């Protein structure tokens, strides 16, 4: 089980540019992310019935993290 933040919903686009998160082309302010690496991820559209998740600890390279699109059926928690 992983603790992740939902950053994009079905049909939205998501991308990272130099560590900054963009959803539908808009920069998302993330005051809870204190350390960023220069993550770069091309724009992608979240599939129907899925969400895009990522953790808040982004101070290390992308290759060391588990994140991405996941089926909504896998969500077992709620909003904190």
The string of pLDDT tens digits covering residues 30-52 is 999 988 899 999 999 999 999 99
Question: Using an 8 Å Cβ cutoff, are 58 and 35 in contact?
Answer: yes
Nearest to 57 by CA among 30, 24, 23, 77: 30
Nearest to 31 by CA among 16, 40, 20, 39: 20
Q: Whole-model pTM?
A: 0.88
Question: Using an 8 Å Cβ cutoff, are 32 and 56 in contact?
Answer: yes
The string of pLDDT tens digits covering residues 5-31 is 999 999 999 999 999 999 999 999 999
């Amino acid at each position: 089980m992983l603790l992740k933040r939902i950053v994009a919903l079905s049909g939205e686009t998501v991308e990272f540019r130099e560590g900054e998160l963009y959803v539908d082309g808009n920069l998302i302010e993330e005051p809870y992310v204190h350390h960023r690496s220069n993550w770069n991820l091309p724009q992608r559209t979240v599939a129907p019935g899925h969400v895009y998740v990522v953790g808040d600890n982004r101070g290390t390279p992308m290759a060391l993290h588990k994140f991405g699109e996941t089926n909504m059926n896998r969500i077992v928690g709620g909003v904190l």
